[in-house]
Structure 1
């Protein structure tokens, strides 16, 4: 079944014509039919052609048959986020020449998208997505749904949360057994401030991660569930949940997850205006992150905000931190963080007019484009207070009307 494909691949690799390959063995026309599986042929002919190409046809067939198994294993490793194993398999598959002629080339490329997104290589991921879109009619039903999942993860990486939800909601579970996508749906709903839907899908993902015995991903799901519970009582239950998650991260030796938990705990303190503890946990979270990464910038923004409103650091030190964050954001071309750190620079320098003009003209349209509901609400409240202070009553009432209707 595969002999013809293999012979054609190596013939083209070595830049041989069909006549050159067949000289003394068979005609070029016969080789053309073998390559296209349009004729029967004696095993001896394939053996002779293989020897001329310098390959062992039996070994090549075994390698080709093994590709499907390796790809499914790689998919499982990606879902479980076993990073070292994921790298090993990626490097192994990159060296596998026959993958280009296998029946699983689309499956392979879809998994490469997931791999690149896990390394924050969104441009490389997009290049593959565009190529796959050109031949989506050739995808199997499983690959069609995997493609929707991949698109959802890509949109999340680009902060396009509404697009992520649209893509992920069209997945057909009957044709797609990887329910990890429910976790990404939960993340997307959390990002647009829809706690009920976020909790629902996070719980579904938690059940799936338990079924596949992946405790690290259970931690991810439980953390997502914890931050949906907006208790405004004594806060003890929420603190206990986070403390339990931190212990679980330590037991599993997962500093990356611990950093996420600490960041979310910091935010819970921040929204309750306990700026000192918020600042403490933001700093702990930052200490576990790469200071060139987007997650680091997110925690740095919270650290500066909590220090500013809590009066915990001198303004010149805060401005220096904000400028460093802006420089990193510009280098990475991260529009969200460029906006957030630009706003911080204006805020720290008490440039109210510049702050609110930039907020109105640049930041709010960006937040609305990507569906950052928390940032949209915060921005509109700030604009209302500013217009009210400036006695610009018409603008203040317009903002108030939007907030009330929302």
Structure 2
């Protein structure tokens, strides 16, 4: 019966009335019933109507029936993060007009949101989300859960981590077999510094990725699990796990993931005050990245801090590197890195008052706006210590209260 839907679609596309299309073939009234699937009809009528419209009805029916298979495959490659194939399928679907009359048009829109978010097109994604929410009552159970999933990913992209947790935890697994959402839930918990819950959901996602033989995503999950472990002992077991992940990235030919693992290993050395090794691994991570990208700037910031704290490079050289990073951040309007490199410039030059004034007035409000929890907490601790040093007790107590409240909130969420 899809023939009638196809005929109507191409008739309207060609701006023909029912009487114009049906002239000499059937009455406008009969064509109306065919299009609305309200009557039986002779096959030759469809053949004649299709010929007048210049379409092959069998080919169009085949395309319409294959849409579900193509959309399912698109979702699979999105989960596996196979960008080349994902982009090719997107191009194919963009040219497929019949999506608009298929029963899978909402599924297409939801997957389109996922595709846009993977390409950092958050505003375009949000526009489609608004469109879908207007007809949310028409979604199937699976589509309703997929909507919650893409909303969670959107909130992660906009650093609204508490909202991400709320919508992702509302997903009903009995109606939604894509347990990839547990990875995004783990990322959200990691972003609010709730390591127990982050580890729990990362482990669930790892099991799912193993079940679907998605080894690159297994690496992602294991990386997320590893950085939740805050062992402050000899660190040997963690180092071995990092080295294993690096080898896995090399075997899977994934330099992007290798760079990410190296960055996280550098951070683990940094927080243990081993600035020499931190500096080395940050530099190794940077060597794999595009030096105009955000991930590169993040590693560069860590490299400069490690080199400064460990007195590895002269301050004059570090200042030039920091200024280069600031110039790149300004060029790409990267607000986070503009703040971080401005802070580094003050820090390198021992401009203590200017550093803490900028931290309080500019950087910390921006960190709060975008939900950078680690940077928020680091900034509060730095300001607390600075106010104690200046014997500004009231300001110090205010910062201490903010730090304590954060810890309570994190415990509650865990």
TM class, shorter-length: over 0.9
In the other structure, the counterpart of 1:243 is: 243
In the other structure, the counterpart of 1:319 is: 319
- Structure 1, unmatched stretches of 5+, are none
Q: Which stretches of structure 1, 4 residues or longer, exceed 6 Å deviation after superposition? A: none
The count of aligned residue pairs is 406
In the other structure, the counterpart of 1:33 is: 33
Aligned mates of 2:168, 2:246 — CA distance in 1: 30
Equivalences for residues 306-345 of structure 1 within 5 A: 306-345=306-345
Residue 48 of structure 1 aligns to a residue whose secondary structure is: helix
Aligned mates of 1:300, 1:131 — CA distance in 2: 40
* CA distance 1:197–1:77, change in 2 (3 Å): same
Equivalences for residues 120-269 of structure 1 within 5 A: 120-269=120-269
Equivalences for residues 59-138 of structure 1 within 5 A: 59-138=59-138
Aligned mates of 2:50, 2:139 — CA distance in 1: 31
- Structure 2, unmatched stretches of 5+, are 408-414
* CA distance 1:34–1:354, change in 2 (3 Å): farther
Question: Deviation of residue 322 (structure 1)?
Answer: 3.0
Aligned mates of 1:139, 1:26 — CA distance in 2: 36
Mean Cα displacement is larger for which, 221-230 or 156-165?
156-165
Cα deviation 1:220-272 (Å, max 9, x = unaligned): 11111111111111111110010010011111111111111001001000101
Aligned mates of 1:309, 1:68 — CA distance in 2: 56
* CA distance 1:59–1:313, change in 2 (3 Å): same
Question: Deviation of residue 357 (structure 1)?
Answer: 2.2
* CA distance 1:402–1:154, change in 2 (3 Å): closer
User: What is the root-mean-square deviation of aligned Cα atoms in Å?
Assistant: 1.8
Aligned mates of 2:316, 2:266 — CA distance in 1: 23
Aligned mates of 1:78, 1:284 — CA distance in 2: 29
| Counterpart check, 1:16 vs 2:22 | no
In the other structure, the counterpart of 1:273 is: 273
Mean Cα displacement is larger for which, 391-400 or 48-57?
391-400
Q: Is the 8 A contact 1:180 1:205 kept in 2?
A: yes
Residue 185 of structure 1 aligns to a residue whose secondary structure is: helix
In the other structure, the counterpart of 2:388 is: 388
In the other structure, the counterpart of 2:412 is: none
Q: TM-score, normalised by structure 2?
A: 0.93
Q: TM-score, normalised by structure 1?
A: 0.95
Aligned mates of 2:100, 2:317 — CA distance in 1: 54
Aligned mates of 1:396, 1:171 — CA distance in 2: 42
